[in-house]
Amino acid sequence: MTSLHPPPLPDDTATIAPSASDPAVRAAGLVKRYGDLTAVDDVSFAVPRGTCLGLLGPNGAGKTTIIEILEGLKQPDAGEVVVLGRTWDHDPRAIQERIGVQLQEAEFQDKLSVYETLRLFASFYARPADLDGVIELVGLTEKRRAWVKTLSGGQKQRLSIGCALLNEPEILFLDEPTTGLDPQARRRVWEIIERLKTEGRTVLLTTHYMEEAERLADDLIIIDHGKVIARGSPATIIASLEAESVVQFAVAGRTHARLEHAELTALEGVRAVRSEGANIVLSVVHTQAVIAGLFELVRARGLELEDLRTHRPTLEDVFVSLTGKHLRDE
């Protein structure tokens, strides 16, 4: 499969047509309500062409509703969507010809083969891509004639992405492309998405896996309860924690009540303290100094540390510090 466009040039020359510098997708003030529940609450963003935007948030945050509004499947109660310079009210087919969509939980027909399924979807487009090229890109060449019901979860997901590529789309919408897959299958999907990014396609992806968001997204929007709670590149968002690392430990014995949050906050280099079950989690700037201080404090109080760990801050830490809960409720 050949790439549709050369990767977009930096937008500093007057020779670029105005339309080429427009964002691929623009959403302004999106609101969607279901009864009393506001599933999407005033969400705005723009996705520049050739970039990947990740919508990160826990289940039920409103990610799927947002992406389905962008795909033209749902009508927002307020707000505006512009996809490739067009709106869904005018000529939806023109947009559909140029976007590729992978839906969360959509299943294909069990008793059709990989090739038959792709062939059906290819027939809907004016200029479909070469089927065998798509099959190869998503790594299903050996499964070409296999019925859908014999495919593994990862293979089904790759078929689903394959179906989204049949029109050489300029924008790809991927709704939780790796949910429910094992780590190896997940990495294969990531490799495919990375390859599509290098071909210059715009990608919009929802996920509740922070590794996925960190690896694939150029820009991120973190969503909770339908609201945007953070945005920027993964690095910027992590940097907003202003922490060098995260220190996590438990106090041996029955309780950690004897270590007050105030005492820990008082340690030099500690930015934030929170409890997670039996664990205490510190966001810190001077890891070494904090750990030294922590040991001293613990010894002075006659306590013993257990399960001491440190790691570099992740998107998960940002999410927890913003909302007090984890992305995945395990």
Partner 1 sequence: MSRIDEIRELTRVRVLSFLREPEAIFWVFLFPLLLAAVLAFAFRSGDIEPSRVIVVDGPDAARLVEAFAVDEHLKIDVLPSRDAAMTKLRTAAADGVVEGGDPPRLSFDPQRPEAETARLRVLRALGLALEGGADPPLDEHLMTEAGSRYVDFLFPGLIGMNLMGTGMWGVGFAIADVRRRKFLKRMLVTPMRRSSFFLAFMNSRLVFLAIELTVLLGFGVWILGVPLRGNLIALVTIALLGAAMFAGLGILVASRVRTIEGVSGLMNFVMMPMWLASGVFFSYEKFPAFIQPALKLLPLTALNDALRAVMLDGASILTQGPELGVMAAWWALCLGIALRIFRWE
Residue ranges that bind partner 1, judged by CB under 8 A:
71-73, 93, 96-97, 99, 101, 103, 105-109, 111-112, 116, 119-126, 128, 163, 167
Handedness of CA 221, 329, 184, 161 (dihedral sign): negative
Nearest approach, Cβ of 134 to partner 1 (angstroms)? 14
Rounded CA gap, 287 and 310, in Å?
8
Dihedral Cα 13, 97, 42, 314, nearest 10 deg: -70
The full DSSP string for 122-157 is: HTTSSSPPPHHHHHHHTT-GGGTTSBGGGS-HHHHH
Nearest approach, Cβ of 59 to partner 1 (angstroms)? 17
Nearest approach, Cβ of 119 to partner 1 (angstroms)? 6
Distances (CA, A) of 308 to 163, 170, 232: 47, 47, 31
Nearer of residues 61 and 103 to partner 1, judged by Cβ: 103
Rounded CA gap, 172 and 134, in Å?
14
Nearest approach, Cβ of 285 to partner 1 (angstroms)? 47
Nearest to 41 by CA among 68, 66, 71: 66
Nearer of residues 102 and 207 to partner 1, judged by Cβ: 102
Nearest to 285 by CA among 270, 305, 265, 307: 270
Nearer of residues 72 and 85 to partner 1, judged by Cβ: 72
Nearest approach, Cβ of 93 to partner 1 (angstroms)? 4
Sheet of strand 305-311: strand arrangement: 270-276, 279-284, 245-251, 305-311
Nearer of residues 12 and 105 to partner 1, judged by Cβ: 105
Nearer of residues 173 and 249 to partner 1, judged by Cβ: 173
Nearer of residues 106 and 308 to partner 1, judged by Cβ: 106
Q: Provide the token pair at 178.
A: 């790796």
Nearer of residues 47 and 290 to partner 1, judged by Cβ: 47
Is residue 52 within 8 A of residue 217, CB to CB? The reply is yes
Nearest approach, Cβ of 328 to partner 1 (angstroms)? 23
Nearest approach, Cβ of 42 to partner 1 (angstroms)? 25
